[in-house]
Amino acid sequence: MHPRNPYNEALDFKLLASKYPPLQAHVNQNGGIDFLDPAAQRALTKAILKTDFDLDVELPDDRLCPPVPNRLNYVLWVEGIVEATSKFTNPSRGVSGLDVGTGASAIYPLLCCRQNPIWEMFATEIDPTSLSCAQRNVSTNALDGRIHLSRATANDSDSSSPSSHTFGPLFADPNLEIGFTMCNPPFYSSAAEIHTSKTEKEDEAFSVCTGSANEMIYSSPSSSSSAAASSSPSPSPYAECEREGGEVGFVARMVRESLVIRERCRWYTSMLGKMSSVPKIVGLLKVVGITNYIVTQFIQGQTRRWALGWSVGGWWRLPDTISRLSHLPSSHSLATIQPARTTLEYSLDKDPTVVLHDTLEGMKHGGILEVEKVTSPTGVVVEFLVKARENIWSRAARRKMKQKAMQAHPATPADKTGDPSDGTRKRKRDVDEGQGGSNTARKKGRVDSNHPKAPEQDEYKMICTVSLSALTGELGEAASKRWTLRMQWVYGKDEDREMFEGFASHIERKVSQGA
């Protein structure tokens, strides 16, 4: 369950029914609800949406009834993605997203817009009955100006019609840019697979599913096209996933299309209902050259779901709390496909606030390395935003800068004479250039002032945050205090990961030595 999900404790159905009378008929004497009763499920979903989100929705008998706590997990995760990225780009700019296959309820656009007043959502739906119901739900809640629905058509990504693509609105409008996509894809590849899945379950189902065929099934390509793809001397990297159909095949289509849309969407995401699907999609991402991806898991009661996201061409990095399942043991089947860490933490015994400030300020160099103190909303955390166009802190980088400085200021003939003042002049020059062994500038990490200034238009190779927070605990009667130094990689290409890790190590060493 997402840590911000308010449904982390069992619902009090009697209390909820007192606020939403239509639910009362479905609450038994023990205060429970029969989740195998479709009518009870619909009444519960309507009650939660009305009571907690002021949303009035219509839920057809023959379409999926979305469990709100489960769907909210996904929305909260996406909110974290948007917040983690937008605060370093344009925090005041509106956010727009796309829900692929919104269903009759339009649950994701409704929750997204109700939770976030400045968000705008696009949504697609292939089933005309579900699309009509979704439009009524949007209009009933006066969200027509912020939620834009469109009809999707045939499942043929090679078609020239924008509506035939999973990301139809992005193909229809080449100028459209969005922050994220969402999708709850069809789990199964055929009706037979649904039947097999039901019979293989050892325990009785905890709830009933009323989903229609198009909500539950995404068929694999025809046998002829599958055979042609598999016999090709250079088969498509998507062929195996697309032949599988179901959620793997559907998400594979989205991966294919994301390589066309690229940076016009910052983060592509999808829910997954089967853990076995996660490594298959991650494997596909790696094969097609997408290495900036994220993985998470949602647990709500007896239900487990997974979510996966990826970014194409953009190198914004997300915190470990959003991007990976760090708690998994190495023996877990998903441990080997987790993305690399972007959050590095160090524990310190002494207050390093002043040393950290002086170290970072001392490293500032116009146009090459910039440091900005960030205001913490709580005032508890000290945070700095660091932007670097190149590495100027490693030993190799410092040697290189020293050589450039010597070339820029070669020794004069007078320097080479036996004048007793030679040493004095050399020591003075060393201090002026930040190379002297005892000068303050070097102690604080300040770089050579003769280092060439980077042009303003040059992109940063690394952006990260450096934050410091205090943890207070009780040891008997004496209070103990420890500090956590946290380095968060915010932006950088794969080849610059070593640059971030080296910077983090450099700062930790300086702070530990000086604290």
Annotated binding site for S-adenosyl-L-methionine: 71, 101, 125, 184
Cβ contact 461:493 at 8 Å: yes
Please tell me the total number of residues recorded for the chain in this structure: 515
Report helix angle 38-53 to 107-115, nearest 10: 20
The Cβ of residue 26 has, within 10 Å, a number of other Cβ atoms equal to 19
**Residue 429 burial (CB count, 10 A):** 16
Question: What SS3 class is residue 139?
Answer: helix
Q: Which residues contact 265 (CB under 8 A, 6 or more apart)?
A: 98, 167, 170, 177, 178, 179, 180, 181, 258, 312
Tell me the three-class secondary structure of 419-440, residue by residue.
Answer: CCCHHHHHHHHHHHCCCCCCCH
Look up residue 262 and give its amino acid: R
Question: Residue with structure tokens 């119901």?
Answer: 133
Give the CA dihedral 96, 101, 107, 110, nearest 10 degrees. Answer: 30
Contact call for residues 42 and 67 (beta carbons, < 8 A): no
List binding-site positions: 71, 101, 125, 184
The answer to whether 65 touches 132, Cβ cutoff 8 Å, is: no
Amino acid at 351: D
DSSP 393: S
Task: Provide Rg for the chain, Cα atoms.
Answer: 28
Say if residue 390 is exposed, middle or buried (CB neighbours under 10 Å; 0-12, 13-18, 19+): middle
> Is 59:52 a contact under the CB 8 Å cutoff?
no
Which strands make up the sheet holding 369-374, listed edge to edge?
Answer: 343-348, 478-491, 462-475, 382-388, 369-374
Rounded CA-CA distance 397/415 in Å is 27
185, 212 contact by CB (below 8 A):
no
